[in-house]
Amino acid sequence: MPRTHTATTPDVDGLVSLRSPRSVGETLDRLEAALRAHGATIFARVDHAAAAAKAGLSMRPTQVLIFGNPKIGTPVMLAAPTVAIDLPFKALAWEDATGQVWLSHNTADYLAARHHIAAEVVAPLSAVSNPIAAAVAPD
């Protein structure tokens, strides 16, 4: 059965979505700072709502942060080259129809299953949950 998104329960296989008490931009600013503190490289930030506006379309705030750490990701890609389609990691900050902001990312378990990689090989990718949790934690 297809999964649906509701205003209060974003439900997508392999995706963790955490509520954020901040705006989309503030959430990703905090995530970027937390990731840098953990030694991650920030590769890009994509503002989908801004791109939509340039095309004359309206979209709720939606931004993606692309980040990674080659010391952690490279061994996973060596084990399964197809995982490179999902790495570097991406975190999606988005606002739902009620104004609630969410911070979403793929789980390491999902990547292991999707790419048929042993759980212990992708386990180091789970470290991303710490800076993501920090980004949505109350002050």
For residue 101, tell me if it sits in a domain. Answer: yes
Q: What is the extent of the structural domain holding 108?
A: 40-136
2 pLDDT higher than 50: no
Which pTM was predicted?
0.90
Which CATH number belongs to the domain containing residue 55 in this structure?
3.30.310.70
pLDDT of residue 1: 36
pLDDT of residue 56: 98
CA distances (Å), origin 4, targets 10, 11, 12, 94, 105:
8, 7, 8, 16, 17
pLDDT of residue 139: 84
Amino acid letter, residue 130: N
> pLDDT tens digit string along 78-134?
999 999 999 999 999 999 999 999 999 999 999 999 999 999 999 999 988 899 999
Contacts (Cβ under 8 Å, ≥6 apart) of 65: 28, 31, 32, 35, 42, 44, 45, 90, 91, 93
| Count of domains observed in the chain | 1
For residue 96, tell me if it sits in a domain. Answer: yes
